[in-house]
Amino acid sequence: ISQPHVRPIVRGKAGRPVEFGAKVSVSMIGKLAFVDHLDWDAFNESQDLIAQVERYKARFGFYPEVVLADGIYGTRANRRWLKEHGIRFGGRPLGRPRKVTSENMDEIKQLKRQRREDERSRIPVEGKFGQGKNGYRLNQIRARLASTSEAWVRSIFLVMNLIALLRFLLPFLRPSAIMDACTTWLRGMLRLDDGVGDRLTGMHPRFADASTGW
């Protein structure tokens, strides 16, 4: 497939110094992933942070308490902006480590524990890309046009978000409501012959529908 919009992007990673495909900047809120920036050329992710936080406020009406991000986002300008807006940056502080004294020993231990917790909380972001690649072929986009490829990538994240929402809602749904929804979908998407309909009716009476005359 000819994809002239796909260009090599030098990443400098061990074992994979050059990658091909779109570069995607994603933010996660809970279990949901939002594609904030997608480009076929290299860009510096740190320039997206302020806009991503502002989008968070536009969606929910307030700023987040903390931003957990890769170290590249922790520029002085970004940290200063976050501090001005009362937002904690969950990353390693800039500059030389503080000297440990008897007065600040407990505080430094607490800060180290907080950083470890922040690093663990950031793992789902990397896992979301792994889920997209392994489960939905995020790394195998086979569209000719850049616009179609972008829609393909965004659709994969949409599907992963829908699955996350479904997993959250299922415990609160009545089994009968789930069966009704599945039955409606089945009738709408498939045209079953009488034999299949009879077998489904035998499996569960909800599949019987006098109005359609299975």
One digit per residue, the tens of pLDDT, for the chain of length 214 reads 677 777 777 766 666 777 777 888 898 888 889 998 898 888 888 899 999 999 999 988 999 999 988 888 889 999 999 999 999 998 787 777 777 777 777 777 887 887 888 788 888 888 888 899 898 888 888 888 888 999 999 999 999 998 888 888 877 777 777 667 666 666 655 544 444 445 444 545 544 544 444 3
Same domain? For 133 and 183 the reply is no
Same domain? For 123 and 56 the reply is yes
Q: In terms of DSSP H, where are the helices of the chain? A: 49-60, 76-84, 105-136, 146-169, 175-189, 194-203
Q: What is the pLDDT of residues 4-15, one digit of tens each?
A: 777 777 766 666
Cβ count near 22 (within 10 Å): 21
Bridge partners (DSSP) listed for residue 66: 88
The CATH number for 116's domain is: 3.30.420
Q: The tokens of 75 are what?
A: 């520029």
Is 190:207 a contact under the CB 8 Å cutoff? no
Residue 2 lies in a domain: no
Domain range for 186 is 175-207
Q: What angle do CA 162, 68, 94 make, to 5 degrees?
A: 160
Q: What is the pLDDT of residues 139-157, one digit of tens each?
A: 888 888 888 999 999 999 9
pTM: 0.69
Q: CA 43, CA 24: separation in Å to the nearest integer?
A: 10
What is the distance, to the nearest Å, from the Cα of residue 73 to the centroid of all Cα atoms in its chain?
A: 17
Q: CA 105, CA 77: separation in Å to the nearest integer?
A: 29
Same domain? For 130 and 201 the reply is no
Cβ count near 52 (within 10 Å): 19
174: Cα within 13 Å, side-chain hemisphere: 3
